[in-house]
Each structure stands twice: as C-alpha cells, then as structure tokens.
Amino acid sequence: MDPLDLRPSPISGAWYESHPQALAAGIDSYLDQAELPELHGRVVAVIAPHAGHYYSGAVAGYAFAAVRGASPEVVAVISPMHHPYPAALLTARHDAYATPLGGVRIDKTLLAALDGHLKPALGFGVTPVPNDPEHSLEIELPFLQRALAGHFTLLPVMVRAQEPEISQALGEALAACLRDKQALLVASTDLSHFFDQETACLLDAEMLRRIESFAPESLFVAERTGRGFACGHAAVAAVLWAARSLGADTVKVLRHATSGDVSGDYRRVVGYGAAAVLKSGTG
C-alpha cells in the first residue's frame, strides 16, 4: 500500500505545540475550561477562531466543547485563504493533513462530488494546490482530533472569493454532498483586526449579532459598510447557508474575547468568537 501524501504543516511549533503530548494536554485544557450554555438541539456546525492557540485557543475551546464526544464520519472545514492564489475556492492537493496528533485523511470522493455540484452553478469548482501555507484551516484540526470520538475524514475548502453568490453556491453544494452523511461543518474566522479594545468589542458585537441572526447575506453588508469585520466572513456565510439547508434553525454565540485579553495589550487587538449552529429537536 502506497504511503499517504501528507500536506506538511507550515505552522506546527509556531502557531501551536509541536509535541503531541503537550498539544493534546493544552487542547484538553481549553475544552475542559469552556463553560457552555444549554444548547437546544443537535450541533450541525461550529464557528471557531484561527489565531495561534496561545491567543485564541480558549475561545476555540468553546466551539469544540459543543461537539465534544460527537462522532461524525466527515468534517467539512471551511476557512478563508489569506494568500494570493488566483482561484476562488481551493483545497489541498494531498491525501491527508499532517498534525502532531496524526494524519487527517481528505475525503477525495466527497471533494469530487463537491466539485461536481459547483461547476454547473458557478462555472468552476475547487482548485487543488500543493503545500499551501494557509493556517486558518489547519489550526482547527488538532481541536477536532481531541474533541471528536472516533475516526473522521476531512472535506477542506479555503475561500478566496468575497462574493455572496459564491459563498451561497458553496453552501448549497456542501449541503447536497453532506445531506446523507453524519457530518459536522466548521467555519474558521477571526473577527476585527488591530482596533483598540473598545472599538473591537463594538465591531465584533455587531458581526456576532448578524451571525446569531442566521442571516449570512448580512455578513457581507457588515464588511462592506465597515460595521463589523471577519476575515472569514465568506467562509462563515457558506457554512450558515449549508447548515440552513441541512435543517439548522438557530445560531448561539458561545464566547467572545480579544488578543488583548490574553496579552494585556489593548491598543491593537484581534477579536475572536465561537458559536454553534443548531437544529432543533433530535432529528
């Protein structure tokens, strides 16, 4: 059997611990410390930040504590692409992601299905790229590896496009691919960048209010008008559209903090939020 083609991590040892035991212990601590409100319904998706674990790990812990012990067969992680690739939607051209906790295999069958749904809708699909440097997707994987029970495969998509119609088409395509699966969706985003603490909290509250109102189209309006910011707003919107198509009806914001709450420097902060997207009842 041929060995897996692993996407090497460009951020292990910098953005998070490279030693497996230390990484596992740190993530478990974040999960243990999360004090969740009562969540009514099944968690279809979570929204989590993607800074280094030192800065945003405590907030991310709230998102992944909401699915701790769950056992989806596939997890779709939708993140922004911060680097200047020409394609609108990208994925890793590898068999699996490497993390210190082991490899996470990419579901190539589902990727092909997603591509097949997107091309008639948009005229293009998901572009695979080798050795991408993007941190915002990979940073979520160790949390998933510690929080979830059992094996899962990965459907990774990095969103470069900023147009709502592309996010909506991606969301609808994700729902079509995942409808008959035991699946979890993860949207990766940070919130405002480099405002003072007071301003950041106002901007973040507005963006989180729009996320909690389950109005994905309004995230683009917030960005365009400067009323709220999220570097992964297009990824979040796609996940909200997908979750709605899969029957979700409620978004619950679980936590907000800033880098200043960790560093003590409140002059130029980055905002972090965690949320769960829920389907009422038990179905």
Question: Rounded distance, CA 117 to CA 6, Å?
Answer: 26
How far apart are alpha carbons 147 and 154 in whole angstroms?
15
Domain boundaries of the chain, sorted by first residue: 6-279
pLDDT of residue 27: 98
DSSP 194-218: EE-HHHHHHHHHHHHHHHHTT-HHH
DSSP for 15-41 reads TB-SSHHHHHHHHHHHHHH--PPP--S
What DSSP designation does 117 have? H
What residue type is assigned to position 80 of the chain? P
The two tokens of residue 65 are 């504590």
Task: List the Cα angle 254/259/261 in 5-degree steps.
Answer: 75
The predicted structure's pLDDT at residue 96:
98
How far apart (Å, rounded) are the C-alpha atoms in residues 105 and 110?
12
Where are the strands (E) in the chain, listed by range?
6-7, 42-48, 74-80, 89-92, 96-99, 102-105, 127-129, 153-159, 183-188, 193-195, 250-258, 269-279
Which residues does residue 186 pair with via DSSP β-bridges, in sequence order?
Answer: 46, 77
Find tokens 């919130």 and name the residue: 191
Residue 243 phi, psi (nearest 5): -60, -40
Q: What is the pLDDT of residue 2?
A: 61
Write out residues in the chain with pLDDT < 70, as ranges. 1-2, 282-283
Which has the closest alpha carbon to 64: 49, 78, 46, 50? 46
Question: Which pLDDT value is given to residue 69?
Answer: 98
Give me the half-sphere count of Cα atoms (radius 13 Å) on the Cβ side of residue 248: 30
The pLDDT value given to residue 1 = 46
pLDDT score for 282: 53
Q: What is the pTM of this model?
A: 0.98
Closest to 140 (Cα-Cα) out of 127, 125, 158, 126:
158
Question: What pLDDT is stored for residue 79 in this prediction?
Answer: 98
Residues 6+ positions from 274 with CB-CB distance below 8 Å = 46, 47, 48, 49, 59, 60, 61, 62, 63, 253, 254, 255, 256
Q: CATH number for 6-279: choose from 3.40.50.150, 3.40.830.10, 3.30.465.10, 3.30.70.260.
A: 3.40.830.10
- β-strand 6-7 against 127-129: which pairing, if any? unpaired
